[in-house]
Copies of this chain bind each other. A is one copy, B any other.
Amino acid sequence: MKPVTLKDIAETLGISITTVSKALKGYPDVSKKTRALVKELAKTLNYKPNAFAVNLRTEESKTIGLIIPEIVHHFFSSVIKGIISQAEKKGYLVIILQSNESYELEKKQLDLLLSKRVDGILISLANGTADFKHLVEVIEQGKPLVMFDKIAKIVKCSKVIIDDRKAAYTATQHLIDTGCKRIAHFRGPLLPQNAIDRFLGYKKALLDNNMVYDPSLVYLFEDMTFEVGEMFAKKIMDEHTDVDGIFVNTDLVAIGAITEFNRQGVKIPEDISIVGFSNWFMSSAITPSLTTINQPGFEMGKKAFKQLYKEMKAKKNKKEVIPKIIELETVLVKRNSTK
């Protein structure tokens, strides 16, 4: 009933706990005979080291924390999958917490992870986060921290990102190249760095092509939902009948817009071209299929863990870590929502 301990094995074999421990860990200063004996007994008794004791001794839990704004999102769940798959390979477990896009919750979750003494932390910031003291504190404490996707530029730590500005530029340029003259942007929320960068890329593409940047064509919204896409599609039809192209922050919203345009008989791409962002699997399924930017979530998760792992290892060996910015490639996936 009670779990088997080193002591149990030692007593049964009439040797010391020290020797049992060493034998199990394959230390060379144990005789072959003893080692075999110990290992055999451990196996038959189904011995499993008490993780709590090991943690206490080694000050390491082989567990990392992950804070994510929202789990129920195709992109983020792909990232999670990437993180878990990689963590598993290295023998790490992942504790997942959600910030619900709230700064207060994010702070609280970070504190929780710290008090649990996870070995490292992976985080994608909440939309509501504009102050970064809580993150700086983690770093000052020497706890490895890697940010991904939604990051804070001024915080000195490793980051795994895409070049949102460039990707948005490419998307907008594609609209221009295919003949769009008046291009709107469904921007999303105000604060997060990726929304800012996508907006900047959009704007720069316009200016580089000697097109007018018109702020009234930029639509802000908090929630990235299908319904928001429908709503703004309606708004465009009401307010700006001359718009012939839209660059949308997220596929889900773009698909909402497409659905509404379809419903109203607006032809895509003849009347309006649309480019999304993220390459959600539904974007190839919708009619017309959606031209979009591929954002490699699974890959991002893998890279983020790998970097964190390096930093945890470096810390263990008391080596200095130089923060690294890892940028993943994005690709424009051309489909039928653009000419």
Contact B263 A115 (CB under 8 A): no
Contacts of A52 in B (CB 8 A): 52, 55-56, 59, 61, 117
Q: Is the CB of A226 within 8 A of B285?
A: yes
Binding stretch for chain B, among A90-98, A174-182, A270-278? A90-98
> Within the assembled complex, what's the spacing in Å between the Cα atoms of A283 and B85?
30
Is A98's CB under 8 angstroms from B84's CB? Answer: yes
A146 shortest CB reach to chain B, Å: 18
Q: Does A74 contact B (CB under 8 A)?
A: yes
Determine if A255 is an interface residue (Cβ-Cβ < 8 Å): yes
Check B96–A48 contact: CB distance below 8 A.
no
The complex places the Cα of A199 from the Cα of B153 at a distance, in Å, of 53
- Interface residues of A, count at CB 8 A: 45
A73 to B285, CA, bound (A): 16
**A315 on interface, CB distance cutoff 8 Å:** no
* Cβ contact within 8 Å between B84 and A77: no
A269 CB, min distance to chain B CBs, angstroms: 18
Q: Does A17 contact B (CB under 8 A)?
A: no
| CB <8 Å contact, B81 and A77 | no
CB distance from A124 to the nearest CB of B (A): 15
Write the nearest CB–CB distance from A122 to chain B, whole angstroms: 13
Q: A53-B56, A117-B52 are in contact. Are A285 and B262 (CB under 8 A)?
A: no
Residue of A59, A88, A93 ringed by the most chain B CB atoms within 10 A: A93
Q: How far is the CA of A256 from the CA of B281 in the complex (A)?
A: 12
Alpha-carbon distance A116/B71, docked complex (angstroms):
24
A1→B315 CA distance, assembly (Å): 14
Q: Is A241 an interface residue (CB 8 A)?
A: no
Q: Does A136 contact B (CB under 8 A)?
A: no
Within 8 A of B (CB), among A48-67: 48-53, 55-56, 59, 61, 63
- Of all chain B residues, the one with the shortest Cβ separation from A115 is B48
Q: Is A154's CB within 8 Å of the partner chain B?
A: no
* Interchain Cβ contacts under 8 Å between A and B, 19 examples: A48-B114, A52-B55, A52-B59, A52-B61, A53-B56, A55-B55, A56-B56, A63-B95, A71-B77, A71-B80, A71-B81, A72-B77, A72-B78, A77-B77, A81-B98, A84-B98, A93-B97, A256-B285, A259-B285
Besides A73-B77, A93-B97, A282-B282, 6 new A-B residue pairs in contact (Cβ under 8 A), listed by A number: A1-B142, A72-B77, A72-B81, A81-B98, A93-B116, A255-B285
Using a CB–CB cutoff of 8 Å, the interface residues on chain A facing chain B are 1, 48-53, 55-56, 59, 61, 63, 71-74, 77-78, 80-81, 84-85, 88, 93-98, 112, 114-117, 142, 226, 255-256, 259, 262-263, 281-282, 285, 287
